[in-house]
Amino acid sequence: MIEIIPAIDLIDGKCVRLSQGDYAQKTIYNENPLEVAKEFEAAGIRRLHLVDLDGAKAGQIKNLPVLEKIASQTSLIVDFGGGVKTTDNFQSVLDAGAQYVAVGSVAVKQPEVFKHWIETFSADKILLGTDVKEYKLAVAAWTETTGINIFDFLEEKIKQGISTVFSTDISRDGMLTGVAIDLYSEIHRRFPDLKLIASGGVSSVKDIYEAEKAGCSGIIIGKAIYEGKIQLKDLV
């Protein structure tokens, strides 16, 4: 059974969504993310993907108090990412109540720091995020595309002990155009033991089934919930 993981993206402490990672295309859905998290919990959801968009853009964590509130006032299993750049940052996210730290840009641009985190905190505490455009990685809140091939990158990180990855086709994120089935199928074919979480483009319950067929063990859903394309009762 594929695991449903709703996303709460944060700007200025509010629950928002972007389209294709563009900060100029921002929609505020709720000014109280804790309220949203409690709605998810009440619907039987167990996991939450919490993204500090301010932190991702600034290169330092900005919305830690929101994590602390959600972690202390719900029983949700939370992963938190955005602006985690140092070992102290990583520790502060765990201390604030996150079970996992979502890491993207550092794994690409500072591989030695990433390796140190694996050795210090264990690979089990890391949710590796790979943002992909035409099978190449993008970093820095999607503002920078690299020439690094997704499959080569994953092979290297799996050797270091990483077992869970979420992958976003950034051309689809926030666009409600369906999930990147070809990308996920190919990742699953090459790395069948990897726990792969789909992210970006989810527009209907059908996309969830398709992601599961493609080999995904989890799926992150954001805009489709907030825009009413998928009802929480359907996810139960």
Active site residues: 9, 131
Rounded to 5°, angle at Cα 182 from 178 and 187? 120
Measure the CA–CA gap between 164 and 158, rounded to whole angstroms. Answer: 9
| Residue 71 to residues 79, 94, 97, 139, 160, Cα–Cα distance (Å) | 10, 10, 5, 27, 29
Measure the CA–CA gap between 96 and 88, rounded to whole angstroms. Answer: 12
**Which residues contact residue 29 at a Cβ distance below 8 angstroms, ignoring those fewer than 6 apart?**
15, 16, 17, 36, 226
